[in-house]
Amino acid sequence: MKFALFTGCVAKGATRELMMATIKSAEGLGIDFVEMKSAACCGAGVISEKNPVLTDAINARTFALAEEQNLDLVTICSTCQGNLKKSEFQLDSDAEYKDKINHVLNPGGHQYRGGKIKIKHFSNILATPEGKELLRQKIKRPLTGLKTAAFYGCYVLRPSELSEYEDPDNPKELEELFEILGATPIYYPSRIKCCGFPIIMMNKEASHEMAGNALIEAVESGADCVVTGCPLCHLSLDSYQPEIENLREKQYSIPILHLPQLVALALGYSPEEIGMDKHIVSTAGLDKILAQHA
């Protein structure tokens, strides 16, 4: 399997451990990721607040880059995934609009043709029958005894017509992956809700309350950790967990993992190799749980 890897900004910055774990997961699974080093930010739903057409143009350029490599595009961020899919929809549903955008891309030597490549989140390629089979074959250390609570990230689920998940109102893909990895999935209502990150600069308290609701539900449902496919959710749930604890006057101390970290752990990589020491909330307790069941 070979894909064009759209890293997104955060995996190259504030959650570099996500990038480390993605590289290791791909290595362990034998997936060939070709990093799209000249692809621009997806806009994160923020550039479109100022200029929606510009957002579609920079994303059309990204799609053109993947088309030039003749590779399907893989994202490792729910926000990137959702925003790229939105632009793809806009471009593919209006030929005149696509022509207008291509006219702007032309001096840079790129043209978006459309219909040639697919845009998938890392979890989507793992959740295919081939992906699941590959995981089953490559697991070296089943995550037996680990209770994992999925946190999907809004943008991969809504709007549902652009989602790559089977039933975005009741998704099961991450939980199915957890089971294949040997972990025990924990279901809780907030797993498909917002983490609050988009308003962390605008309405901090509301943002932390949203994240806090997810954390408390996961803890009370018996989860050992929360696993997310979105680095922005990770920032909200992990980096800001002390603020949330202060606001709620409660101690959660629940580790938050990136999906590729969970995969890489099951593939036998050490926590250090996949940046688990870079988290704000310590992940040391997870090692103990895994050691107990080893």
Instruction: Select the span of 37-45, 118-126, 134-142, 266-274 touching another protein (CB under 8 A).
Output: 37-45
Q: Does 210 bind another protein (CB under 8 A)?
A: yes
CA atoms within 13 A of residue 232's CA, in its CB half-sphere: 24
Among 209, 245, 273, 287, indicate the residue that binds another protein (CB under 8 A): 209
Q: Does 207 bind another protein (CB under 8 A)?
A: yes
Q: Does 243 bind another protein (CB under 8 A)?
A: yes
Q: Does 96 bind another protein (CB under 8 A)?
A: no
Q: Which is nearer to another protein, 109 or 294 (CB)?
A: 109
Q: Does 202 bind another protein (CB under 8 A)?
A: yes
Q: Does 174 bind another protein (CB under 8 A)?
A: no
Q: Which is nearer to another protein, 44 or 134 (CB)?
A: 44
Q: Which is nearer to another protein, 15 or 25 (CB)?
A: 15
CA dist 52 and 72 (Å) reads 24
Among 66, 80, 127, 154, indicate the residue that binds another protein (CB under 8 A): 154
Among 85, 98, 191, 193, indicate the residue that binds another protein (CB under 8 A): 193
Q: Which is nearer to another protein, 146 or 157 (CB)?
A: 157
Residue by residue, what is the 3-state secondary structure of the chain?
CEEEEECCCHHHCCCHHHHHHHHHHHHHHCCEEEECCCCCCCCCCCHHHHCHHHHHHHHHHHHHHHHHHCCCEEECCHHHHHHHHHHHHHHHCCHHHHHHHHHHHHHHCCCCCCCCCCEEEHHHHHCCHHHHHHHHHHCCCCCCCCEEEEECCHHHCCCHHHCCCCCCCCCCHHHHHHHHCCCEEECCHHHHCCCCHHHCCCCHHHHHHHHHHHHHHHHHCCCCEEEECCHHHHHHHHHCHHHHHHHHCCCCCCCEEEHHHHHHHHCCCCCCCCCHHHCCCCCHHHHHHHHHHC
Q: Which is nearer to another protein, 120 or 193 (CB)?
A: 193
Among 70, 93, 128, 203, indicate the residue that binds another protein (CB under 8 A): 203
Among 198, 229, 260, 271, indicate the residue that binds another protein (CB under 8 A): 198
Helix 173-180 × helix 259-266 angle, to 10°: 20
Q: Does 146 bind another protein (CB under 8 A)?
A: no
Among 71, 73, 91, 157, indicate the residue that binds another protein (CB under 8 A): 157
* Size of the residue set binding another protein (CB under 8 A): 66
Contacts with another protein, residue ranges (CB under 8 A): 9-10, 12-16, 37-41, 43-54, 57-58, 61, 82, 104-105, 107-108, 110, 154-155, 157-160, 167, 169-170, 189, 193-194, 196, 198-199, 201-207, 209-210, 213, 239-240, 242-243, 277-280
